[in-house]
Amino acid sequence: MRKKTQQSYITRTVNVVNYIQQNLDNELTLAELAQQANFSSYHFHRIFSGMLGESVKELIRRLRLERAAIELRTSTTSILDIALGAGYESDMAFSKAFKARAGLLPSKFRKSEQARFPCLSLSSIRYVTNEHISSFEPFIDKELNMKVMIKQVDDMLVAYVSHQGPYKECGHAWDTLCGTLAPMGLLGGNAKMIGVSYDDPDVVAPELLRYEACISVDEIFSTTDEIGFKSIASGRYAVTTHIGSYETLNETYQKFFGQWLSQSDHESADQPCFEIYLNDPESTEPEELITDIYLPLKELNHG
């Protein structure tokens, strides 16, 4: 058990939660929150939701809704103003969201003395003004059974094609890349199929997700403008294997960051992860797909 590292992750996550509580009226960007806790902004979101079982966005939305419930019952502020204060664009949108969570419309909730305050989450982070969280038991999946290897990876030259949009639609980038490299005899042998996902699909809108389809090559060659070359940084990586459909990769990322990383002796480096695909998604059943996920680590600090 790596108590010390885990405690540090807990303390830093708690700082973020308290910061959110105190700044619910502000916009609260991920970058700002990551900075509060001194987490790498690349990976902050996954660490947070992995540890608490609730994403940053969900937590903020929920706390604002809980605060709105209190205001409804204890103040005479108009429902529209409460809605705007909770981050909704209209009282309609707010009413819908409130009803979905609390079971009744805000107007009914306001009038009813009996209606109980909505219990919006199983976690005990609640909207409060008179408490301060000092620690928590991380949300740990009892089934966490993750095999993780620490590997030293050498610099790897890759040819790549960028894709922006839903990760599901990255096939086009792969077609361009494979279609260019195949006639040159660069597929097969040790050529590795690598994906670099820059953004967390839980946080970034689908049309803005950035991805690079990469194939390892021995040297740079002249080719079309669509193909770029770059080096995948050498260094220490934690590597785990995801077995199953690409659609569920995100769940493995979540566990890897939120649970494995926070219980390990390691700290993630501020650079993106990459994935190596070990089989062909066209001819393999989704449940048999194998993907190695590489999480970059900071160099050990023997201070």
Partner 1 sequence: MDKIDLFKLHKADYIAPKKPQSCHIANAHYLVINGVGSPGEDNFNDAVTALYAVAYTVKMTRKRNNLGDYVICKLEARYWSINKQCLSEQDKSQWHWQLMIRTPSQVEISDIEQAATALTAKGKTVSINKVKLIEHEFAHCIQMLHVGSYEEESRTLEQMLAFVTEHQLSATGEHCEIYISDPRRIPMERLKTILRMPVSN
- Which residues of this chain interact with partner 1, rule CB under 8 A? 175, 178-189, 218, 243, 278-280, 282-284, 288, 290
Q: Which helix (DSSP H) or strand (DSSP E) does residue 163 occupy?
A: strand 156-164
Q: Which is nearer to partner 1, 188 or 303 (CB)?
A: 188
Nearer to partner 1, 37 or 186 (CB): 186
Minimal distance in Å, beta carbon 287 to partner 1? 9
**What gap in Å lies between CA 276 and CA 197, rounded to an integer?**
11
Nearer to partner 1, 103 or 179 (CB): 179
CB of 163 to partner 1, least distance (A): 17
Beta strands in 165-233 (DSSP E): 193-197, 210-216, 228-232
Beta carbon of residue 243, minimum distance to partner 1 (angstroms, whole number) = 6
Please report how close the Cβ of residue 143 comes to partner 1 at its closest, in angstroms.
18
Task: For residues 31 and 48, give the distance between their C-alpha atoms in angstroms, rounded to a whole number.
Answer: 13
Which one, 115 or 276, has the nearer CB to partner 1? Answer: 276
User: Looking at this protein, which amino acid is placed at residue 188?
Assistant: G
239: number of Cβ within 10 Å? 16
As beta bridge partners, residue 296 has 237
Q: How far apart are CA 183 and CA 180, in angstroms?
A: 6
Nearer to partner 1, 125 or 186 (CB): 186
Q: Tell the smallest beta-carbon distance from residue 286 to partner 1 (Å).
A: 12
Of 54 and 275, which has the nearer Cβ to partner 1?
A: 275
Tell me the three state secondary structure of residue 214. Answer: strand
Least CB distance from residue 171 to partner 1, whole Å? Answer: 11
Burial class of residue 233, CB neighbours in 10 A (0-12, 13-18, 19+): middle
Smallest gap from residue 139 Cβ to partner 1 (A): 29
Q: State whether residue 54 is helix, strand or coil.
A: coil
How far is residue 94's CA from residue 71's CA, in Å, rounded to a whole number?
A: 14
Closer residue to partner 1, CB minimum distance, 34 or 181: 181
Query: Residue 26, Cα to own-chain centre: how many angstroms?
Result: 21
Distances (CA, A) of 201 to 9, 108, 206, 296: 23, 36, 7, 19
